Amino acid sequence: MKAIVCNEFAPVSELKLQDMPDPTAAKGQVVVNVEAAGVNFPDSLLVQGLYQMKPDLPFIPGSEVAGTVAEIGEGVAHLKVGQKVIGLCMLGGYAEKVALPATHVIPVPDGIPLDEASALVTAHATAHHALKQRANLSSSDTLLVTGAAGGTGLAAVQIGKLMGAKVIAVCSTDEKCQVAKDNGADICINYTGIDLKAAIKEHTKGKGVDVVYECVGGEMFHTCSRSMAWNGRLLVIGFAGGEIPKFPVNLSLVKGFSVVGVFWGSFTQHQPQDFMANMKELLTWYVQGQIKVVIDERFALADAVDAINKVTDRKVKGKVVITP
């Protein structure tokens, strides 16, 4: 099979399209013919050796796929060859085929295109887990989403609105603001050239924000940490801006808010039953038309470097997918 391979931790440009052995299904596994793979910001960090985990080399990046079941291993009874599925593979997604545990494979309901299914999991599932399990978001809360036109930011806007919160999106351009509004944001702040802290204060009538879904890091995180309401929850999602901020903990003490880490990959392992319940709810919402995947661009497998760079350069509105 063809695959994108990371042979050493290096810039994304060093990734290679090369032939790799076809995977086989061991006991408890299935092999999926990949029709689409979602591209996520951590993919870039992973290949550079900058992520929380460092895989053994060489490896194939790509954590979420959709396709059809090609082979079933011993002991797998709930899936069948030819079935359309979503696969959570952590690694191996940027390829024509991937083997993964059957426990991480979910049938795709009718009506969900496979390219959209491949982009549904990480972004929406992260936002869902963050707002539901970590923030306990309620309809009385104000939710502020940074990086709100990106994949997981846009998902947080949709899900936050669905859960009844007032949603304030924060974006870097008017065009991105319009995307956020089209997906349910009540207010969008274009932070370029303005005092963002003052704008948040104005839009919350001086109260501050109950929940922040913070994807950017750096100065954006610092501004949000100074804009929290009493009993607020500042969700740490990621650092798309490149800088991991240092947090002065006295702010949390004085302002009475919590800083809450969100690592969806660990959640799926530590709380598998909650994870599956979340996925059932997400897929139901999708079929009902209450959430949607916005695909900005589709790339061929050979153009995976361009796909990753579009995400890391923060030029994407919604999601990017690779179609082998």
Q: What is the pLDDT of residue 53?
A: 83
Q: What is the pLDDT of residue 243?
A: 85
What does pTM read for this prediction?
A: 0.90
Q: What is the pLDDT of residue 128?
A: 97
Q: What is the pLDDT of residue 83?
A: 97
Q: What is the pLDDT of residue 265?
A: 82
Identify the bridge partners of residue 142 per DSSP, sorted by sequence position: 166
Q: What is the pLDDT of residue 208?
A: 97
Q: What is the pLDDT of residue 109?
A: 87
Instruction: Report all structural domains of the chain as residue ranges with CATH numbers, in order of start.
Output: 2-108+294-322 (3.90.180.10), 123-264 (3.40.50.720)
Q: What is the pLDDT of residue 254?
A: 94
Q: What is the pLDDT of residue 159?
A: 98
Residues 6+ apart with CB under 8 A from 239: 216, 217, 218, 245
**Chain length of the chain:** 324
* pLDDT, block means (10 residues), the chain with 324 residues: 97 97 97 96 92 91 96 96 94 97 91 91 93 97 96 96 98 95 97 96 97 95 97 94 89 95 89 90 93 94 96 87 93
Q: What is the pLDDT of residue 242?
A: 77
